[in-house]
């Protein structure tokens, strides 16, 4: 069965999604970062660290692009409807193995990259930082926990799923969620005094491989995207055990969901249908979702996303003029696009 013909979920209701045409939102592509030198290379992962955007490629290289360049591009385009091209990125790492994922830890400029050869590589732009734990998942169905900055594996869970693990998300309270080609999402946690993570829940709603996970609303909402073209919304089930239950789905993409990014009340979805959708949770009259934008100028499937700025001020307030988010999307044609999305106040 092709990705385009995968059935949409019917077991959960579609959440109340406001008609895009009635939304006062405005989105604009403000920059396009052209692809790598190899014509066959595609953007495989994105990560943001402060004002820096790291761009990973299937050719094994990692590039750096300054996000303040996006602000300059936006000013230049005030009288221009086009999306200017930029080739000002700098290659900061080059390996002989395709990059599969990136993580900017915020720990003294530490950047982690996982690769097709099964290795995780650590890169540092500056010294310093305190010890912390990192998690990694793999197509070999295992989960590993690493202590940083010593890079020592302190825990390994073999056969955590029945098929390849495609996505991992960690909540602020340390709970780990994994999404797999076996169509399942699993929740893992390590209690006080425990040395190993234990399986505390298995979530089954998707009809095909789970490709992406993202946590929003300060870790209270989990989003999962799959080849069935749907984004399932999971929220706290109550009871104090931290369990999640499916409360609905976000529909609109015509092909598989390949990537997700979330921050605050915003969630972005990227698809094999070459589009990016931006959704906002909540509303004046209900707890539904508003589709703020559908970005359609990519020439190939959207493989990676980064939501750079959320839709509210640091104190949670929203000015009368609204606010904005900066969305970065990378595609299989090798290009990265930077989008500015206006977020009206609820």
Q: How far, in Å, CA of 131 to CA of 16, rounded?
A: 43
CATH label, 47-67+89-125+134-298, candidates 3.40.50.450, 3.40.630.40, 3.40.50.300, 2.130.10.10: 2.130.10.10
Question: Is residue 77 predicted with pLDDT exceeding 80?
Answer: no
| 2 or 19, greater pLDDT | 19
Q: Which residue has the tokens 């020439």?
A: 299
- Residue 36 is predicted with a pLDDT of 59
- For range 243-264, the mean pLDDT: 94
Position 81 pLDDT exceeds 60: no
DSSP string, 149-218: TTTEEEEEETT-SSS-EEEEEE-TTS-EEEEETTS-EEEEE--TT-SS-EEEEEE---SS-EEEEEEEGG
pLDDT at 239: 63
What φ, ψ does residue 3 adopt, rounded to 5°?
Answer: -60, -35
- pTM, two decimal places: 0.87
Q: What share of the chain has pLDDT > 90, as a percent? A: 52
Which pLDDT score is estimated for 26? 77
If you write DSSP's letter for every residue of 262-285 in order, what string do you get?
Answer: EETTEEEEEETTS-EEEEEE--SS
Residue 180, pLDDT > 90, answer yes
**Residue 138: predicted pLDDT:** 65
Q: Which of residues 123 and 35 earns the better pLDDT score?
A: 123
Q: Once rounded to an integer, what is the mean pLDDT over residues 152-174? A: 92
pLDDT above 60 for 24: no
> For the segment 193-233, what is each residue's pLDDT rounded down to a tens digit?
888 999 999 999 999 999 999 999 989 999 999 999 999 99
Residue 22 has pLDDT above 60, yes or no: no
Q: List pLDDT tens digits, range 255-283.
A: 999 999 999 899 999 999 999 999 999 85
Mean local confidence (pLDDT), 319-342: 88
Give the separation between CA 280 and CA 291, rounded to whole angstroms.
Answer: 7
Domain residue ranges in the chain = 47-67+89-125+134-298
pLDDT value for 71: 56
The dihedral region occupied by 180, where left means phi > 0, alpha psi between -120 and 50, and beta the remainder, is: beta
* Whole-number pLDDT of residue 83: 74
Phi, psi at residue 141, to the nearest 5°?
75, 10
Q: Lowest-pLDDT range, 81-85, 88-92, 248-252?
A: 81-85
pLDDT in tens, 92-147: 999 999 999 999 887 667 899 999 998 899 888 644 443 355 568 666 888 999 88
Instruction: Say if CB 190 and CB 199 are below 8 A apart.
Output: no
The overall average pLDDT reported for the chain is 82
pLDDT on residue 17: 55
Give the model's pLDDT for residue 175. 93
> Which token pair is 50?
């402060």
Longest dimension (CA), the chain: 60
Q: Taking residues 311-315, what's their average pLDDT?
A: 47
Alpha helix ranges (H) inside 77-195: none
């Amino acid at each position: 069965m092709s990705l385009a013909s995968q059935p949409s979920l019917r077991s959960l209701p579609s959440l109340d999604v406001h008609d895009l045409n009635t939304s006062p939102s405005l989105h604009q592509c403000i920059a396009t970062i052209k692809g790598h030198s190899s014509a066959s290379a595609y953007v495989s992962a994105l990560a943001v660290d402060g004002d820096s955007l790291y761009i990973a490629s299937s050719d094994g290289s990692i590039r750096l692009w300054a996000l303040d360049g996006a602000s300059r591009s936006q000013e230049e385009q005030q009288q221009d409807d086009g999306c200017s091209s930029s080739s000002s990125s700098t290659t900061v790492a080059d390996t002989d193995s395709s990059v599969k994922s990136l993580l900017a830890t915020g720990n003294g400029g530490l950047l982690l990259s996982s690769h097709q050869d099964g290795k995780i590589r650590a890169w540092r732009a500056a010294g310093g930082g305190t010890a912390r734990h990192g998690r990694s998942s793999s197509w070999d169905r295992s989960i590993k926990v690493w202590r940083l900055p010593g890079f020592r594996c302190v825990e390994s869970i073999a056969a955590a799923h029945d098929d390849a693990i495609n996505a991992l998300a960690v909540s602020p309270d340390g709970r780990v969620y994994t999404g797999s080609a076996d169509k399942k999402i699993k929740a893992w946690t390590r209690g006080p005094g425990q040395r190993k993570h234990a399986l505390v829940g298995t979530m089954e709603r998707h009809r095909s491989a789970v490709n992406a996970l993202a946590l929003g609303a300060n870790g209270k909402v989990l989003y999962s995207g799959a080849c069935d073209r749907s984004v399932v919304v999971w929220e706290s089930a109550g009871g104090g055990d931290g369990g999640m239950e499916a409360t609905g789905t976000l529909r609109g993409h015509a092909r598989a969901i390949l990537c997700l990014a979330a921050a605050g009340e915003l969630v972005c979805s990227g698809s094999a249908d070459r589009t990016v959708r931006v959704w906002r949770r909540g509303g004046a009259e209900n707890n539904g979702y508003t589709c703020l934008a559908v970005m359609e100028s990519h020439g190939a499937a959207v493989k990676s996303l980064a939501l750079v700025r959320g839709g509210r001020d640091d104190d949670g307030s929203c000015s009368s003029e609204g606010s904005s988010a900066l969305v970065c999307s990378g595609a299989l044609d090798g290009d990265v696009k930077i989008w500015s999305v206006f977020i009206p106040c609820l």
